[in-house]
Chains A and B, each alone.
Chain A
Amino acid sequence: MPGCLDGVRIIDLTINLSGPFGAAILGDMGADVIKLEAPGAGDVARYTGPARGGMSAGFAVINRNKRAVAVNLQASGGKEALLKLVQSADVVLQNFRPGVVERLGVGYADCKAVKPDIIYVSISGYGDSGPLCNDPVYDPVIQAASGYMLTQSEPGSGTPVAVRNALCDKIASMNVAQGVLAALFAHGRGAGGQHVKISMLDTSLAFLWPDAMRNNTYIDDTSPIADISNIYNVLPTKDGYAIGFAVTDVQYQGLCRALERPDLADDPRFDHVAARIVNLVALNKIVAAEAAKYTTGEIIERFSREQVPGSKINSRADLMTDAQIAHNALIVEADHPDAGRLRYTRPPIIFEATPSSIRHHAPRLGEHTDEVFTEIGVSAEVLAAWRAQGVIG
């Protein structure tokens, strides 16, 4: 069965993480993603992180389901080679700094001239105008600018703490996939092509807002309440840690049974949800003291029996042997032709009629240059001439 995006062609000029991960999500859904890099070194992400067979592990994961073409956009003839590809495509993705694609002659207007209904997606750090639009960014820069590092502070401390994964890049990736999908749907219904613009600052802020900015949502005269994750009580147990998180009154009654504290079940400080919010600190202390009497296995078993949301806290290594993750067949082992045996997560959305899939491994730089240009009718002679002139690699 073909995936949702079977027959859609995407030209991916992006590097690093925000664009490539977004393109990988679309490739998982069946799109023909053609990754275009500069000959020579290509995407710097090929080399950062644990490397094997000349390819870093992170690169291998987020560049699966892509074919690779090497074109030098700075060489004369490079622009023409790209525009030929664009003519055959539905979507172009780019994450150069604002202004660069126009200087190279491969901006929205240029692509639209050769493919009038192209969907052209521009990804930036801060937006395409404004005081910071020319500043370079990486994920931690946007974590700083968009508030993540201070929302991650320990309660009561003003020391910024980084979220220890490239969250802001990957939130942008999700919006890239979303923007392409929505524009493709609109295109299918007659809206034509369009320019879609995504900035990491904007997507990060929109993601942070619903819960982490709730004390800043209503303007004037509301009394602030505890920030969301001050409620997240990590419970030390006899042999490790666990999470137990009762929200509803029914779950709270379950918690009292799980901890064998019937006295708490009708304690007026805690016996309904509004009271628990007010007396949260006191309740968290009691729960922590009780949880410390059990092993992690015991406490989780008790929570599960009483239907209190709870979990052991999986380390990275635990994820490889977790029973539910195994049941979900979520971690897929495969052989990359250069990098060897590796682990992917399977595409997470299960489409029963149009399944997503991992069909190709991440390619070598320029691995499919000849194949792709041949498909669109470029002759062997022209290819040889381009290669001799350093236009393609």
Chain B
Amino acid sequence: MPGCLDGVRIIDITANVSGPFGAAMLGDMGADVIKVETPGFGDLSRYFGPLRGGMAAGFAGINRNKRGVAIDLHKPGGKQAFLRLAQSADVVLQNFRPGVVDRLGIGYDGCKAVKPDIIYVSISGYGDSGPRSGDPVYDPVIQAASGYMAVQSDPGTSKPIPVRNIVCDKIASMNVAQGVTSALFARERGMGGQHVKIAMLDTSLAFLWPDAMTNFTYIGEMPPMAEIGDLYNLPPTKDGYAIGFAITDAQYQGLCRALERPDLAEDPRFVQIMARIENLAELSAIITDEFAKRTSAEIVESFSREQVPAAPINTRADLLNDAQIAHNEMIIEAEHPNAGRMRYTRPPIIFEGAPSSIRRHAPQLGAHTDEVFAELGVSADEIAALRAQGVIG
């Protein structure tokens, strides 16, 4: 069965994470993604992280299901070669700094001139105008600017702490995938192509807002409440840590049974949800004492029996032999032709009628240049000439 985006062609001239990971999600769904890089070096993220066979592990993860084409956009002829590709495509993705694609002649207008209904997606750090739009960004810069590092501070301190994964880049990626898919749907319904713009600052803030900005949502005098992070209590057990998290009254009753504290089950300070929110500190202190008397496994087992949300805290290594993760076949082992044996996560959304799949490994720089241009009807002689001029690699 073909995937949801079977027959859709995407030209991906993005580098690093925000664009490439978004394009990988679309590739998983069946799109033909053609990654365009500069001959010679290509996407810098090819070289960042644990390397094998000339390819970084993170690169291999987020550039699966793509073909690799190398074009030098600064050479005369490079622009024409790129626009030939754009002409055959449904979507173009780019994450250069604002203004760069227009200078190169491959901006929205340039692509629209050769493909009137092109969907053209521009990804930026701060937006395409405004006081910081010309500044370079990486994920930690946007984590700082969009409040993630402040939100991650320990309660009562103002020392910023980063989220320890590239969260703001990857949130942008998810918006890239959504932006492309909804624009494709609208085009199918007669809305034509369009320019879609995504700024990491915007997507990060929109993602943070619903839960982490609740004290700033209602305007006017409001008594501030505990932040959601303050509820994420991680009391130590006898032998480590476990998470146990009761919200509803039924779950709270389960928690009292699991901890063998029937007295708490009718304690007016805690018996209903509003009271528990008010007396959170007292309840947390009691739970901390009870956790310390038990092992992590005892906590998880008794909570699970009583239907209280709980889990052991998996290390990276634990993930590789977790029973539920194994049951879900979430981690796939495969053989990359250059990098060797490796692990992917399978595409996480299960489409029963149009399954996503991993069909190709991440390509070497320019591995499919000849194949792709030949498909477009460019002759072998012309390909050789373009290569001799350094236009393609």
Contacts and interface: CB of A to CB of B under 8 A. Distances in A.
B309 A145 contact: no
Contact of B146 (A144, A216, A232, A314): A314
Contacts of B328: 126-127, 130, 199, 201-202
Q: Chain A at the B interface: mostly helix, strand, loop or mixed? A: mixed
By size class, the interface of chain A is 35 or more
Nearest to B186: A4
A206 B5 contact: no
A186 B316 contact: no
Contacts of A350: 196-198
A229 B163 contact: yes
A8 B212 CA distance: 30
B353 A327 contact: no
Interface string A217-242: 11110111101111010100000011
A232 B205 CA distance: 20
Interface string B258-295: 00000000000000011001000000000000000000
A311 B312 CA distance: 36
B241 A313 contact: no
A49 to B, nearest CB: 5
A288 B320 CA distance: 36
A141 B245 contact: yes
B316 A150 contact: yes
B162 A4 contact: no
Interface stretch (B32-40, B173-181, B385-393): B173-181
Given A165-B151, A210-B62, A220-B341, A333 B219 contact: yes
B204 to A, nearest CB: 8
Contacts of A96: none
Given A44-B247, A181-B178, A243-B144, A164 B212 contact: yes
A352 B232 contact: no
B76 interface: no
A198 to B, nearest CB: 6
A165 B162 contact: no
Contact of B138 (A145, A177, A178, A247): A247
Nearest to A189: B188
A3 B333 CA distance: 41
Contact of B170 (A5, A152, A210, A313): A210
A343 B217 contact: yes
A148 B316 CA distance: 9
B47 interface: yes
Contacts of B62: 210
Given A5-B185, A211-B17, A140 B348 contact: no
A50 B222 contact: yes
A351 B180 CA distance: 10
Contact of A328 (B199, B213, B313): B199
Contacts of B179: 349, 351
B377 interface: no
A129 B165 contact: no
Interface stretch (A55-63, A78-86, A99-107): A55-63
A241 B144 CA distance: 10
Task: List 7 tightest A-B contacts by C-beta distance, closest first.
Answer: A164-B229, A194-B353, A130-B327, A327-B130, A353-B194, A162-B232, A57-B217
